[in-house]
Homo-oligomer: A and B are copies of this chain.
């Protein structure tokens, strides 16, 4: 089966970038099957993503990276070239709500996910059976509310041992400590159960019910040290009315959370999300 290289670039915008990069690719025989680019006028920054049929390139991925290095330097690029044969490794963290995890496991087993779930970490034992039935290791790491240090040290070593590329907080109701946020910056994805920036913090559906909003939402974002304030990848909403109790909002919300997390994670794993300050460029 054919594989691809994904070239992702961000750099100061100036004339000739596309010509230079596309010339480089076609000069090596490369067939570009998907191309996206964006110029951010306010910041003067340029973003691009190319999907290149690997078999069309006349050299290995490593050689291609080396050959591209001078181009990257010339344009002061932050860049990466990934081979789709190297599938990202995903660790999922959960508390007691299983809907997002069940959804991700289905998408993984159905072949919808471009990456592999390699383990699940939880502060509760509830989902061990289901996770192990999928052939995955389950790590129950209880979090002591008075001192969370030990728990997060264990989590960090588990994530490291699992060689995770991406960590998904799939309704993991604990706040990650700053050192973890920094260490895995741009690689930890959270699903927050409100339409941020509305209703950050705890019990957002109850906050929404109290305010009498007519739409509730969910937000998939990168985790940063500031709670619920990281770069937003995706959001969606569900219509509600006076008929609905907070419990109904929770139930509707589950479906929105699943959908928003699945889309956000998919785009992340397909290298479609570029972080730009506290915002994202998403080549969906």
How many copies the complex holds: the figure is 4
Closest-CB distance, A155 to chain B (whole angstroms): 26
Instruction: Judge whether A176 is part of the interface by a CB distance below 8 angstroms.
Output: no
User: Chain B contacts of A42 at CB under 8 A?
Assistant: 245
**Which of A133, A233, A242, A278 is packed against the most chain B CB atoms within 10 Å?**
A242
User: Chain B contacts of A29 at CB under 8 A?
Assistant: 15
Instruction: Judge whether A174 is part of the interface by a CB distance below 8 angstroms.
Output: no
Q: Nearest CB to that of A233 among chain B residues?
A: B214
Q: Nearest CB to that of A274 among chain B residues?
A: B242
Nearest first, the 3 A-B pairs at minimum CB distance are A212-B279, A19-B22, A16-B26
7 A-B pairs with CB atoms under 8 Å apart are: A18-B35, A99-B110, A195-B198, A214-B233, A214-B234, A214-B282, A237-B237
Q: A40-B242, A215-B217 are in contact. List 15 more A-B contacts (CB 8 A).
A: A15-B26, A19-B25, A38-B243, A41-B245, A99-B106, A112-B251, A195-B195, A198-B198, A211-B278, A214-B232, A214-B233, A214-B234, A215-B235, A242-B279, A255-B262
